[in-house]
A = this chain, B = another copy of it.
Amino acid sequence: MAVAREAEPVGSLSEVREAGLDREDLLGVYRNMVLTRGIEERGHILYRQGKIPGSFYTGRGNEAASVGIATAMGADDVGTPLHRDMGVHIVKGVEPWRIFAQYMGRADGPTKGRDGNVHMADSKLGLIAMVSHLPAMLPVAVGCALAFRIREEKRVAVGWFGEGASARGDCHEAMTLAGVRKLPMVFVCDNNQWAYSTPSHLEFATEHVADRAEAYGFEGIVVDGTDVLAVYREARRAIEKARSGGGPTLIESVTLRMEGHAVHDDAFYVPKEMMERWAESDPIESFRTWLRTNADMTDAEEEEITGEVKRTLNEALRRADESPLPDASSLTEGVYASPEDLDTPHHK
């Protein structure tokens, strides 16, 4: 049985410097992880307050993976993050208040209340809004990579999918096209070991999703998704490989979904010991410890970060709450695009 390469953890600060991050960057990475979790925790509160219509999903446990990958992306690289990848939006710079507005279905959310949850993206930041259907965004991400290849731009597209969604045809067709054309593409599998209540062995028959990469003619890598630096390093390698014409890579980031599938789900089907074991490798806590031991993060620095995040969140909530609900009169606007809509940097 062919097995994808298993990535080593990252050791020292110097090793991280090689990978392209200085101490300042590392504190920024930590801050983004804390902010990512903060947004989803506040979301939970909003939900319990009845301020979020419909259902509510979070990526608790996936903060290192989403922040790590996004940190490795270049400013002109693009991606299609999913419902566990809030960190990608954060790193790319979406304003938190707009996320809360989105959660609450307000007019200032990126989708103006037309879609909910993290079904949103700021195209100016190089992100494309996900649909519910999984993994329907993979062929789209591959199309972005195709455009870069046709125009001979040194840009890379990143496409996310869950280990469960790896069973769908879209995943296969996207990887097939990317593989035969050696497109500048990185596939990221958020393997959180559960697809709603379905365990991995009922979704795919290999040990790792990444073991499938070679069936598409490219490399597969398995990385500990709770280790932000390892994720970053592998993503960086894969992205630069793609950028320099080396073709796609499939990175499988292994985590555990630390909450139910969505807010309504108590995840009774996940063994208690499994939860406890993974709770010990909380991505934020682990990185905090790492920063303390390897980068001498001081109490002051830490408080600075948690304080700034807290202020950001409070301010964001206040501002989001001021945003009105969309007016019913806007319902039928913009089903079809008009030529002016193409007046974007992409469409010159």
Which residues from chain B contact A217 at a C-beta distance below 8 Å? 204-206
Taking a contact as CB atoms closer than 8 A, the residue among B169, B176, B203, B205 that contacts A170 in the complex is B169
The distance in angstroms between the C-alpha atoms of A219 and B4, with both chains bound, is: 18
- Min CB distance A137 to B, Å, is 15
A309 interface residue, CB < 8 Å from B? no
Q: Which of A25-33, A151-159, A208-216, A289-297 sits within the interface?
A: A208-216
A337 interface residue, CB < 8 Å from B? no
Within 8 A of B (CB), among A186-221: 201-206, 211-212, 214-218
Taking a contact as CB atoms closer than 8 A, the residue among B1, B2, B168, B179 that contacts A205 in the complex is B179
Contact B1 A214 (CB under 8 A): yes
The distance in angstroms between the C-alpha atoms of A205 and B219, with both chains bound, is: 12
- Min CB distance A150 to B, Å, is 16
- Min CB distance A47 to B, Å, is 34
Taking a contact as CB atoms closer than 8 A, the residue among B173, B180, B203, B204 that contacts A201 in the complex is B180
The distance in angstroms between the C-alpha atoms of A177 and B167, with both chains bound, is: 8
A171 interface residue, CB < 8 Å from B? yes
Which residues from chain B contact A201 at a C-beta distance below 8 Å? 180
- Min CB distance A127 to B, Å, is 25
Contact B203 A180 (CB under 8 A): yes
The distance in angstroms between the C-alpha atoms of A206 and B169, with both chains bound, is: 18
A172 interface residue, CB < 8 Å from B? yes
The distance in angstroms between the C-alpha atoms of A201 and B176, with both chains bound, is: 11
Contact B202 A211 (CB under 8 A): no
Q: How many residues of A contact B (CB 8 A)?
A: 26
- Min CB distance A15 to B, Å, is 30
Most chain B C-beta atoms within 10 Å of own C-beta, residue among A170, A176, A201: A176
Contact B180 A173 (CB under 8 A): no
- Min CB distance A146 to B, Å, is 14
A170-B169, A173-B169 known; A180-B202 Cβ under 8 A? yes
Taking a contact as CB atoms closer than 8 A, the residue among B169, B179, B180, B211 that contacts A172 in the complex is B169
Contact A211 B215 (CB under 8 A): yes
- Min CB distance A48 to B, Å, is 37
- Min CB distance A200 to B, Å, is 9
Contact B205 A180 (CB under 8 A): yes
Which residues from chain B contact A177 at a C-beta distance below 8 Å? 167
Within 8 A of B (CB), among A1-43: 1-2
Contact A180 B168 (CB under 8 A): no
The distance in angstroms between the C-alpha atoms of A167 and B169, with both chains bound, is: 9
Within 8 A of B (CB), among A204-251: 204-206, 211-212, 214-218
Other contacts beyond A169-B170, A172-B172, A172-B173: 6, CB < 8 A: A168-B173, A179-B204, A179-B205, A180-B202, A205-B218, A211-B215
Q: Can you report 16 residue pairs joining A to B where beta carbons are below 8 Å apart?
A: A2-B2, A167-B172, A167-B177, A168-B169, A168-B173, A176-B203, A176-B204, A176-B205, A179-B204, A180-B202, A180-B204, A204-B216, A205-B217, A206-B216, A211-B214, A215-B215
Q: Which residues of A are at the interface with B, using a C-beta cutoff of 8 A?
A: 1-2, 167-173, 176-177, 179-180, 201-206, 211-212, 214-218
Rank and list the top 8 A-B pairs by shortest CB-CB distance, nearest first. A169-B169, A205-B217, A172-B172, A179-B205, A215-B215, A2-B2, A212-B215, A167-B176
